[in-house]
Structure 1
Amino acid sequence: MSQKIVSLTVRDVRFPTSVEQHGSDAMHTDPDYSAAYVLIDTDSGLKGFGLTFTLGKGTEIVVCAVEALAPLVVGKSLQEIVSDFRGFYRLLTSDGQIRWLGPEKGVIHLATAAVLNAVWDLWARAEGKPLWKLLVDMDPKQIVSCIDFRYITDVLTEEEAHDILVKAQEGKQQREDEMLKGGYPAYTTSCAWLGYSDQQLQQLCTDALQSGWTKFKVKVGADLEDDKRRCCLIRQMIGPSNTLMIDANQRWDVAEAISWVSSLAEFNPLWIEEPTSPDDILGHAAISKALAPLGIGVATGEQCHNRVMFKQFLQASALQFVQIDSCRLGSVNENLAVMLMAQKFQVPVCPHAGGVGLCELVQHLILFDYICLSANLHNRMCEYVDHLHEHFTSPVVIQDAHYMPPKARWNRKESNEEEVQSFGYKRFAFLKCCGLKVLSVWA
């Protein structure tokens, strides 16, 4: 792993998903799935690919932030980085001037995630393994060495994390074999975006049921009576035994959330996702306490800034489902910290994956969580949306509503410059795009 990083480039990729209301919810009515897409080149020809997810406008700001971080990466060797990954993470998040823009939150942290995602991809390619396998094959000491424990040692120390990982070694190979055979359970959000018509919703639910889906999420929050009607429609279609979740995307104040969700309790949702401001930890705790007698949990995390906020959510019993995101937090490094804290608190991890590239990314993290941490699938599932996978060299594989573990192995020269040449979106000539033909990341 002596490869020296000689350049880091970033491009602005956007898909006009708002035209057909894909991704629409109560707060984001016109989302254009987008990404700041990072390419790392080394002197050996090996490349690393990473991204962070955005919704259109503002992607150019993330691109500028990535460019500001690039000098901290270029010139380093892969060996230098991974031999002290904790130190490299701190280097990116602790620059004395750039840190002021966060720290470890907002645009600069999205940019950090894009850069680190590319570094992890580079490492996996150097080892000839998919990322999940790279993680699973690490020993507990090496995993712990990748994590920055600053600000969370009052909940999780390095020694505790090591002990959790050591304890989970028992049965690890059997769980890996289980995942390779049957995959990790998924739920679908693709059937019930808020902007979809009833006819479209019904057709998509029918198709999903025929394809073996048993877990469905519905967007809510714009109008209570409309939510009741749509939830009733979907519950009637999927039946009483299948799982229903609802997602408000931060629409309500605390009291409003409690009242609104109580009105939807008759449809037996497993959770209400992002009921209020993603920063309101005590508000989430109040909602969790009020909804507990109804058997409805609170899920959040896709816009939770960092491990410190997740620590406080867990301390305050403010969520019952941890929704990590592969691009909101500081890539794999920080997600490892959150998954370990979730395991200590025995709160299931159910990742967010609603966006371009997020399914391809987060599947690796959830496989690691089951094989090396939780050893438990009760109330655990990973989100899936059926959009834009055709633009990846190694698109996610769903079989019987399960994520099938990627098995790709690379030749070191496989990712060549042809991957970043003239890209034209099939249906939308007005796509603002960086020129990518196919996206490649964490295969």
Structure 2
Amino acid sequence: MSNTSENLKIVSLDVKDMRFPTSLHADGSDAMHTDPDYSCAYVIIRLQNGLEGYGLTFTLGRGTEIVVEAIRTLSSIVVGKVVTDIYKEFGAFWRSLTSESQLRWIGPEKGVTHLATAAIINALWDLWGRLVKKPVWQLLADMEPEQLVSCIDFRYLSNVITKEEALELLKKGREGREERMNVLLQKGYPCYTTQAGWLGYSNDKIRELANKFLNAGFTAFKLKVGKNLQDDIQRLEFVRNIIGWDRTLMVDANQVWEVQEAIDWMKHLAKFKPLWIEEPTSPDDVLGHAEIARALKPLGISIASGEMCCNRVLFKQFLQADAIQYCQIDSARIGGVNEILSVYLMAKKLGVKVCPHAGGVGLCEMVQHLQMWDFVALSGTSEGKWVEYVDQQHEQFVYPTVIENAHYLAPRAPGYNTELTKEALENYVYPQGKEWESMFAKGIFTDPRK
């Protein structure tokens, strides 16, 4: 079928509640989220010509059904549109989703409606990549600066970055682009791992996993902290003895501390030379983060945050206030690719390194594209930067992330690497998937339908 506008019309938007029982092994556990079941709201957008795009937003189990409902509610804005019309004015379309005059009230641009927006937007980017037969990182890197800027809603950002400044940065970013693309295709993009650092893991499991990743060439490791100071001190010492002092160590408190408590706690951990403390306090507390940053700077400890930062405006303030030295965008927390592009541009202008949050279900698969685009077409460097890597649920995807020598290899398949396998859908759609039915029957989990 040819790409006539009739064939490119969106005829359906389907959404599924997908859950994986990671709580059984304490995978993903931290001081705040003690028993996550890695999950996602999974969107399938279908065109008249049969082509499909897949998108998702990451959740921790309970509550996924609420995001699913929000996606269904937003779908009326999407279905019936000609997809190429969306891409021509993508920034305007994005605003139509996030500023629908009644739905906006239950955001605006945060929480469940924004997670729902991200899933839909991510599916549209996957579809775009498939239409032009390019992986999303390359689709972005090949765009003319004007086209890329037209994907972004600059509302509320102009006191930090204007469209004109964004264009300038992207035009500068074109210098040496081909060379960097070759480097990327040969070597990939560096990553660190959190897989050995979950709070619920025993020392034996930490040792086994840390050694596994050391043998795989990893030089940067992240540990969860924040529940018990003495335990943290012992675990950091334990891990330093395994990985040595010449490798990079990061720590992550997942928002559990008060501002002063974060400062005091980190003074005790400073001797282990952590590069950063991630999410030391409430993810909305810009001034609190700034205060912690000032206090810890003399100790050589930076602040990283952003995985729970709800929109570009909050990112703007974190960057303006020098409250974070490492900006951690998440591919599903704010409104998908379009909004994330604006955060990269602000971070570039203000000289802050972006190190994406990943892990979960599909987050590694997606953020690799964003960081690779940044390397090729915007910041032009991977110096002192990484993408997080967690060895979780990659087998559920048709085109899983590929890691070699502690580098993400550049995806070659068209799209955003977001398509789940047929088996994943059969086994883990909630609550009627085969694996869930089996776990309910064994009494491992309670059937919500009973």
Q: TM-score of the superposition, structure 2-length normalised?
A: 0.93
Task: Tell me how far apart the structure 1 counterparts of residues 30 and 43 of structure 2 sit (CA, whole Å).
Answer: 28
Measured after TM superposition, the shift of residue 408 of structure 1 is 1.3
Task: Tell me how far apart the structure 1 counterparts of residues 139 and 130 of structure 2 sit (CA, whole Å).
Answer: 9
Residue of structure 2 equivalent to 1:314: 319
Residue of structure 1 equivalent to 2:55: 50
1:130 corresponds to 2:141: no
1:219 corresponds to 2:207: no
Task: Tell me how far apart the structure 2 counterparts of residues 344 and 426 of structure 1 sit (CA, whole Å).
Answer: 49
From 342, 349, 368, the counterpart of 1:363? 368
Residue of structure 1 equivalent to 2:44: 39
- Any conservation in 2 of the 1:10–1:67 contact (CA below 8 Å)? yes
- Any conservation in 2 of the 1:165–1:373 contact (CA below 8 Å)? yes
2:134 counterpart letter in structure 1:
K
Measured after TM superposition, the shift of residue 78 of structure 1 is 1.0
- Any conservation in 2 of the 1:120–1:131 contact (CA below 8 Å)? yes
Residue of structure 2 equivalent to 1:291: 296
1:388 corresponds to 2:388: no
Distance verdict in 2 for CA 1:211–1:341, change over 3 Å: same
Task: Tell me how far apart the structure 1 counterparts of residues 381 and 424 of structure 2 sit (CA, whole Å).
Answer: 40
- Any conservation in 1 of the 2:15–2:72 contact (CA below 8 Å)? yes
Measured after TM superposition, the shift of residue 56 of structure 1 is 0.3
Residue of structure 2 equivalent to 1:207: 212
1:324 corresponds to 2:325: no
Residue of structure 1 equivalent to 2:448: none
Alignment of 1:225-264 (within 5 A): 225-264=230-269
Residue of structure 2 equivalent to 1:422: 426
Measured after TM superposition, the shift of residue 409 of structure 1 is 4.0
1:78 corresponds to 2:91: no
Task: Tell me how far apart the structure 2 counterparts of residues 388 and 311 of structure 1 sit (CA, whole Å).
Answer: 32
2:63 counterpart letter in structure 1:
G
- Superposition misfits of 4+ residues, deviation over 4 angstroms: 415-421, 424-432
Residue by residue over 1:331-376, the C-alpha shift from the partner in whole angstroms, topping out at 9 and shown as x without a partner, is 1100000000000011000000021100001100000111111112
Task: Tell me how far apart the structure 1 counterparts of residues 30 and 437 of structure 2 sit (CA, whole Å).
Answer: 25
Residue of structure 2 equivalent to 1:436: none
From 253, 272, 277, the counterpart of 1:272? 277
- Any conservation in 2 of the 1:351–1:382 contact (CA below 8 Å)? yes
Task: Tell me how far apart the structure 1 counterparts of residues 356 and 422 of structure 2 sit (CA, whole Å).
Answer: 32
- Any conservation in 1 of the 2:396–2:420 contact (CA below 8 Å)? no
Residue of structure 1 equivalent to 2:24: 19
Measured after TM superposition, the shift of residue 378 of structure 1 is 2.1
Residue of structure 2 equivalent to 1:144: 149
Q: TM-score of the superposition, structure 1-length normalised?
A: 0.94
1:178 corresponds to 2:179: no
- Any conservation in 1 of the 2:427–2:434 contact (CA below 8 Å)? no
1:56 counterpart letter in structure 2:
G
Measured after TM superposition, the shift of residue 426 of structure 1 is 9.2
1:9 corresponds to 2:28: no
Task: Tell me how far apart the structure 2 counterparts of residues 429 and 131 of structure 1 sit (CA, whole Å).
Answer: 36
Task: Tell me how far apart the structure 2 counterparts of residues 169 and 41 of structure 1 sit (CA, whole Å).
Answer: 34
Task: Tell me how far apart the structure 2 counterparts of residues 430 and 271 of structure 1 sit (CA, whole Å).
Answer: 42
Task: Tell me how far apart the structure 2 counterparts of residues 416 and 47 of structure 1 sit (CA, whole Å).
Answer: 12
Task: Tell me how far apart the structure 2 counterparts of residues 52 and 102 of structure 1 sit (CA, whole Å).
Answer: 16
Task: Tell me how far apart the structure 2 counterparts of residues 380 and 249 of structure 1 sit (CA, whole Å).
Answer: 20
1:375 corresponds to 2:373: no
Q: Secondary structure at the match of 1:302?
A: coil
2:405 counterpart letter in structure 1:
D
Q: Secondary structure at the match of 1:374?
A: coil
- Any conservation in 1 of the 2:56–2:119 contact (CA below 8 Å)? yes
Measured after TM superposition, the shift of residue 224 of structure 1 is 0.3
Task: Tell me how far apart the structure 2 counterparts of residues 283 and 176 of structure 1 sit (CA, whole Å).
Answer: 39
Task: Tell me how far apart the structure 2 counterparts of residues 93 and 423 of structure 1 sit (CA, whole Å).
Answer: 33
Measured after TM superposition, the shift of residue 110 of structure 1 is 0.1
Measured after TM superposition, the shift of residue 416 of structure 1 is 12
- Any conservation in 1 of the 2:40–2:361 contact (CA below 8 Å)? yes
- Any conservation in 1 of the 2:46–2:52 contact (CA below 8 Å)? yes
Measured after TM superposition, the shift of residue 423 of structure 1 is 2.9
- 23-32 or 422-431: bigger deviation: 422-431
Distance verdict in 2 for CA 1:74–1:350, change over 3 Å: same
Residue of structure 2 equivalent to 1:346: 351
Task: Tell me how far apart the structure 1 counterparts of residues 266 and 108 of structure 2 sit (CA, whole Å).
Answer: 34
Size of the aligned set, in residue pairs, is 428
CA RMSD of aligned residues (A): 1.7
Task: Tell me how far apart the structure 1 counterparts of residues 14 and 439 of structure 2 sit (CA, whole Å).
Answer: 20
Task: Tell me how far apart the structure 2 counterparts of residues 377 and 9 of structure 1 sit (CA, whole Å).
Answer: 37
Residue of structure 2 equivalent to 1:188: 193
Measured after TM superposition, the shift of residue 176 of structure 1 is 0.7
Measured after TM superposition, the shift of residue 236 of structure 1 is 1.0
- Any conservation in 2 of the 1:15–1:431 contact (CA below 8 Å)? no
Measured after TM superposition, the shift of residue 430 of structure 1 is 4.6
- Any conservation in 2 of the 1:16–1:431 contact (CA below 8 Å)? no
1:63 counterpart letter in structure 2:
V
Residue of structure 1 equivalent to 2:99: 94
- Any conservation in 2 of the 1:14–1:431 contact (CA below 8 Å)? no
Q: Secondary structure at the match of 1:335?
A: helix
Task: Tell me how far apart the structure 2 counterparts of residues 420 and 233 of structure 1 sit (CA, whole Å).
Answer: 37
